[in-house]
């Protein structure tokens, strides 16, 4: 419709706005005054009002194909599938610095110490864990709370199911499982783990596997040490972190030729025997032997929690080590 009059041309863009009820008061009044004296514009406004009415009815009218039931059921099943594959991660502060925790429906999949840089981290996590990775602090918050309690010594167990998807081989998985079984407040050697998984000579392979532990703290590779009590590597070159984690569990360390070692004279020793007896470090030659299959405990309670009993010759129950 053409409007010959300049006022009508000026008013025209406002007509649909007024009809939609979205015009400002001033515009509505101006249009109202004009259509009161202009039949063409009055008619045009009414047409726009009719359009609004039709559009409103179109909105209310049933829409062919508007039954979401099947689509919803299909969506639920895709979501269930996605949930089983999905890995959620969160980044949190902790007593050992910022830390990343990732979990799937199966269990905790990755723990990583962060060293300042968080840019590009999501992409890196995705590269490691696959496409189905999302940042979701809420999903990992509970794990974080337990981890902090553990690092502060308020909790001695992290009973989390493990998702070992980042294990590189069956051997790697075996090493991680055996390490996960080393209890709180205890340390053993790489050789001990190698023996445990049936490959007693694969000491270096065990050390290498633990160097690539995707779940530090949770899989307590800090409890695995060299045959002479040396702490060896941890998280790159963060031996002090290993000492810190052991200290939380009551395992004392000392310097031997400037290198940190566990303080064997301050730890209870268990060399596998039929009587399941644990000993004082002064029992015979025990503290001078390579740790190998020996497990060291921070306290008699830690040893006895595993069902071990005091040695009947050295009597750690009668002569406890001084803390």
Partner 1 sequence: MADDAFDTVVAAHHAEIRRYLLRVTARPSEADDLSQETFLRAFRAHGSLPPDSNVRAWLFSIATNLSRNHFRAQKRRLRAHAAAARERPEVDSAWPESEAAASEARARIEAVIAGLPLKQRLAFIMRKMHDLDYAVIGANLDCSADSARAHVFQALRKIRRGLEGLALVETEPMP
Spatial strand order of the sheet with 224-225 comes to: 224-225, 186-189, 295-297, 268-270
Residue 117 interacts with partner 1 (CB under 8 A): yes or no: no
Residue 17 interacts with partner 1 (CB under 8 A): yes or no: yes
Size of the site for partner 1 (CB under 8 A): 48
Q: Which helix (H) or strand (E) holds 131?
A: none
Catalytic residue of the set 8, 41, 221, 279: 221
Whole-number Å distance between alpha carbons of 20 and 29: 14
Q: Please enumerate in sequence order all residues whose Cβ is within 8 A of that of 304, keeping only pairs 6 or more positions apart, or say none.
A: 278
The answer to whether 250 and 263 are in contact (CB under 8 A) is no
Q: Which of 2, 21, 26, 58 binds partner 1 (CB under 8 A)?
A: 58
Q: What are phi and psi of 256, to 5 degrees?
A: -125, 115
Q: Please enumerate in sequence order all residues whose Cβ is within 8 A of that of 309, keeping only pairs 6 or more positions apart, or say none.
A: 275, 276, 277, 278
SS3 assignment, position 26: helix
Q: Which of 5, 9, 33, 72 binds partner 1 (CB under 8 A)?
A: 72
The answer to whether 202 and 266 are in contact (CB under 8 A) is no
Q: Which 28-47 residues touch partner 1, going by CB under 8 A?
A: 39, 42-43, 46-47
Residue 57 interacts with partner 1 (CB under 8 A): yes or no: yes
Residue 71 interacts with partner 1 (CB under 8 A): yes or no: yes
CB nearer to partner 1: give 14 or 196.
14
Q: Which of 21, 62, 116, 198 binds partner 1 (CB under 8 A)?
A: 62
Residue 119 interacts with partner 1 (CB under 8 A): yes or no: no
> In the stretch 85-114, what mask flags binding to partner 1 with x, by CB under 8 A?
-x-x--------------------------
Whole-number Å distance between alpha carbons of 314 and 283: 6
Q: Which of 65, 116, 120, 198 binds partner 1 (CB under 8 A)?
A: 65
Q: Which of 5, 7, 10, 20 binds partner 1 (CB under 8 A)?
A: 20
Q: Which helix (H) or strand (E) holds 247?
A: helix 239-248
Considering the complex, what minimum distance in angstroms separates the CB of residue 277 from partner 1? 46
Whole-number Å distance between alpha carbons of 210 and 313: 36
- Is residue 8 flagged as an active site residue? no
At which residue do the structure tokens 């009719």 appear?
50
Please report, as ranges, the residues that interact with partner 1 according to CB under 8 A: 1, 13, 16-17, 19-20, 22, 39, 42-43, 46-48, 50-52, 54-55, 57-66, 68, 70-72, 74-76, 78-79, 82-83, 86, 88, 132, 134-139
* Positions marked active-site: 221
């Amino acid at each position: 419709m053409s409007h010959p009059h300049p006022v009508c041309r000026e008013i025209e863009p406002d007509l649909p706005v007024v009809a939609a009820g979205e015009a400002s008061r001033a515009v509505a009044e101006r249009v109202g005054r004009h259509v009161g004296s202009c039949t063409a514009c009055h008619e045009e406004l009414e047409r726009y009002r009719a359009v609004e009415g039709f559009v409103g009815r179109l909105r209310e009218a049933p829409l062919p194909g508007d039954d979401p039931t099947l689509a919803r059921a299909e969506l639920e099943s895709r979501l269930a599938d996605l949930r089983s594959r999905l890995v959620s991660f969160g980044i949190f502060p902790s007593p050992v610095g910022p830390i990343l925790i990732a979990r799937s429906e199966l269990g905790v999949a990755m723990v990583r110490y962060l060293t300042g840089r968080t840019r590009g981290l999501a992409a890196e996590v995705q590269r490691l864990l696959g496409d189905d990775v999302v940042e979701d602090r809420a999903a990992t918050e509970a794990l974080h709370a337990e981890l902090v309690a553990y690092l502060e010594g308020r909790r001695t167990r992290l009973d989390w199911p493990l998702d070992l998807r980042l294990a590189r081989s069956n051997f790697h998985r075996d090493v991680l499982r055996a390490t996960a079984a080393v209890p709180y407040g205890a340390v053993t050697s790489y050789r001990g783990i190698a023996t445990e998984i049936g490959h007693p000579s694969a000491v270096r392979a065990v050390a290498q596997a633990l160097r690539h532990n995707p779940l530090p703290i949770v899989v307590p590779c800090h409890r695995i040490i060299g045959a002479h009590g040396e702490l060896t590597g941890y998280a790159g070159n963060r031996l002090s972190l290993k000492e810190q984690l052991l200290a939380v569990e009551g395992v004392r360390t000392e310097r031997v030729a400037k290198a940190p070692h566990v303080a064997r004279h301050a730890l209870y020793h268990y060399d596998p025997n039929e009587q399941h007896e644990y000993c004082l470090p002064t029992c015979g030659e025990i503290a001078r032997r390579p740790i190998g299959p020996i497990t060291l405990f921070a306290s008699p309670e830690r040893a006895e929690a595993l069902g071990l009993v005091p040695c009947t010759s050295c009597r750690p129950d009668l002569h406890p080590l001084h803390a």
